[in-house]
Amino acid sequence: MDFPTQARTVPKTLMASILLLLVLLMPALQITGAQSVGVCYGRNGNNLPSESDVVGLYKSNGIGRMRIYEPNDPTFQALKGSNIELTVTILKNQLQGLTDAAAATDWVQKNVQAYSPDVKFKYIAVGNEVHPTDPETQYLLPAIQNIHNAIVAANLQGQIKVSTAIDTTLVDNAYPPSAGKYSDAAKSFITPVINFLASNGAPLLVNVYPYFSYTENPSQIDIAYALFTSQGITTPDGVKYQNLFDALLDAQYSALEKANAPNVEIVVSESGWPSEGGDAATTQNAHTFYQNLINHVKGTTGTPKRPGKAIETYLFAMFDENTKDGAEVEKHFGLFSPNKQPKYQLTFG
């Protein structure tokens, strides 16, 4: 075969068209592409902005991922065409009803299919922080399976992964991180869930809070280690950890390995630091934590167990929530005040 001695040139009109297409696509590429930071949008407040204003705030700040805690039509409507990737949570008081396959199908039809593809669903978190002593443990796996089957029936399994969100307390023996394992109490309900995730290529969602780990043990943990500002520590088994976040996350990976699920990825579905209402809850500490966390998870350092890649992470939360239950500190995790003014100068993108 004869080969031309000179490469063919692309016609100028075609090149101009390609360049124009790239320019038009850039906003969409910028908001999703390498974006690894999302923000949780909790709505436990009586003074919060409208859903359309909230979505506008995400867009103007370059926040490309959102997690919500229940289906909400005004939020879905505001998200249409935004290209923001969405995680929808099903709270644990809803799990028993979803053990009925028909109810799960109805849930997916009403809360996903009715808005897709205009809303860019990414994960469905079936259950948030189910604990071994909760009666809902018996409903967790059947609900996950039924929601997953409904997603498959809707032919959306390539786009949407079904999982659950746990907190770090299901893992004990978390120091050194290599020793992390699921507690005996947690194993019975979480192991079948992990097997399901592994077989379906879905990640495990984990809420990771260095703040609470620090405040529960301030005599043993340096606050600088929790805020990403220390020189790090070397664990008894010789591994260097620069910060508490990585240590907590790797303890979770160790538990997955011991549960014969080394290939299950972890998405950090919540992490944050409060600005008031508790020990070490100051605006300065929160600002330091959030910006350092953003920089870390967007980079390619990773953790000692999972080096060399960004960590998909959702900051908690978009707003202070003045009607949230629990301790006073729970009301002050917001990145923004309800009047939409930023509490901290952060760079998300």
User: Which residues are part of the catalytic machinery?
Assistant: 129, 270
Written as six digits, the tokens of 175 are 């120091």
Beta strands in 148-192 (DSSP E): 161-167, 171-172, 181-182
Phi and psi angles of residue 42, each rounded to the nearest 5 degrees, phi first: -90, 150
Question: What distance separates the 2 farthest-apart alpha carbons in the chain?
Answer: 78
Are 319 and 338 within 8 A, CB to CB?
Answer: yes
Instruction: Report how far residue 337's alpha carbon sits from residue 322's, in angstroms, rounded to the nearest whole number.
Output: 10
Using CA of residue 195, residue 200, residue 203, residue 207, what is the dihedral sign?
Answer: negative
Q: Are strands 181-182 and 171-172 parallel, antiparallel or unpaired?
A: antiparallel
**137-to-69, 122, 132 alpha-carbon distances in Å:** 19, 24, 7
